[in-house]
Structure 1
């Protein structure tokens, strides 16, 4: 294969990696400049601010929300089930004014039996980069967590949970946050929230008020309330997402150790088999898809 630049550009973060012909990262940069932070659609200017000194002859393989309606180039979703070759056939290419060739990998659409339509952009690339693990169930935590199922190297379906965004909304914009104080992660409070959610997964709207009452009656200190709230939300997500799954099924969490730790804890408390995957697996996924497309 040939060297390339991997561009993982999401809603809140920008990450770029220079990858050599052996698939090793030789240069990298990141910034809290996701697509929503880019003003007036100045995506090329933002890109060159971060990688302007990198070889312009290298193909740039891009995935994530950069291909969404709010991104640089909107790419139509590919349909599930889909393998790497299906995404390779859907690549959209743009040549910038600085003469870079950027190849945008689109996301996937799934006709969800529960919500009608579900979509992902970027997470499918992570999954294709982690296929060698042999896992069939993948979790990508974040603002919108994704639970992705794979069979025969195809993404056959997935489900989105607005857990991260819900946590931020409850903490910052509801009465639940009024008693909270900043503090380190409280693992015991987090586990308490998970176990409360597991006790009755359908009772989340009722259980949420306990974030306030546990604080009012000093059952939890103010600096532990956020951890408890996080446990409630992650616990409810895990309880729902694993309904009907074989209890012996193996799950792979695709995230940094810090972000993935909460889900590792929650799945282990549920008695499930879970491991942490490679945080940079999106690069391998992009490499696979781009090679299928004959780009590298």
Structure 2
């Protein structure tokens, strides 16, 4: 049996770890993400996954979109600058099952320029638990990529870029879907595209259509088109995020298939970014919250 349960509950997926202190004893996951659940369906979805792990009242600490306005219960944002872990700021969720002591971690917000994060702060907490002396920039690639300034274990400021969502929209729902392949990669095409929009971001829209044209009048392969599309978007993002990464110690956190591209783009600019897998960091962050609350 677990003496507490860690939960990472996103829009599409639900992951849960049975814990005894800082030790993982079991793991389960499902596709019961927040995006597909009605308000009354959260508790049954969770109990289907973790019901066998708990007997008496058990603390459950969750992060992610489960705390959004459309989630189980809204966990209010904390404004920057702030520490990434705040056990006293957990929001208690209403439950029917007396065994559940359900708590949801808050997100982080920024007034100017307006920005929010929910879920990434727990990965950041995990990274800082493993690297307590880190001062610099954390990049968290994804659908909405975050660039986060960390100093003295606090989130000082951050910016979000929709590059991942733009890639999905352009590659699947625009004219570029006829040119961009689903598989394969061309590292040289990626590097060239990063350089183009990093140096001339104002040309992004024209370069995007150039991907379509190159497939019609030239020898461009679908693999090269995919890599170029990614490179053009990441290059433009790096141009806008330059105040964050230029001359800084940078770590890239998340899915290795994404962090590899961002790390490669940063290495082209002379940086030596660290990389860390986001799945392990989410659990490390939830564990840090639990242990600090004891």
Task: Report the TM-score, using the length of structure 1 for normalisation.
Answer: 0.89
- Could you tell which deviates more after superposition, 93-102 or 152-161? 93-102
2:84–2:155 contact (8 Å) kept in structure 1: no
Alpha carbons of 1:127 and 1:182: their partners in 2 closer, same or farther (altered >3 Å)?
Answer: closer
Q: How does 1:67-216 map to 2 (within 5 A)?
A: 67-84=67-84, 87-98=86-97, 99-112=99-112, 116-131=113-128, 132-133=130-131, 134-216=134-216
Please state whether the residue corresponding to 1:216 is helix, strand or coil.
helix
Q: How does 1:245-264 map to 2 (within 5 A)?
A: 245-247=245-247, 249-264=248-263
- Could you tell which deviates more after superposition, 218-227 or 63-72? 218-227
**Residue 29 of structure 1: how far off its partner (Å):** 2.2
**Residue 251 of structure 1: how far off its partner (Å):** 0.9
- Could you tell which deviates more after superposition, 279-288 or 143-152? 279-288
Give the distance between the partners of 2:237 and 2:138, measured in 1 at CA.
Answer: 14
Give the distance between the partners of 2:257 and 2:75, measured in 1 at CA.
Answer: 31
| Partner residue in 1 for 2:266 | 267
Q: Flag as ranges the 4+ runs of structure 1 deviating above 6 A.
A: none
Please state whether the residue corresponding to 2:273 is helix, strand or coil.
strand
| 1:45-70, Cα deviation, whole Å (9 max, x unpaired) | 22122223222543111011110112
Task: Report the TM-score, using the length of structure 2 for normalisation.
Answer: 0.89
Q: Give the unaligned 5+ runs of structure 1.
A: none
Q: Give the unaligned 5+ runs of structure 2.
A: none
2:137–2:245 contact (8 Å) kept in structure 1: no
RMSD of the TM alignment (CA)? 2.1
Please state whether the residue corresponding to 1:243 is helix, strand or coil.
helix
| 1:83-132, Cα deviation, whole Å (9 max, x unpaired) | 145x32321112522321111011011123xxx31000111111122114
2:199–2:239 contact (8 Å) kept in structure 1: no
1:130–1:278 contact (8 Å) kept in structure 2: no
Alpha carbons of 1:278 and 1:219: their partners in 2 closer, same or farther (altered >3 Å)?
Answer: same
Give the distance between the partners of 1:274 and 1:149, measured in 2 at CA.
Answer: 14
**Residue 242 of structure 1: how far off its partner (Å):** 2.2
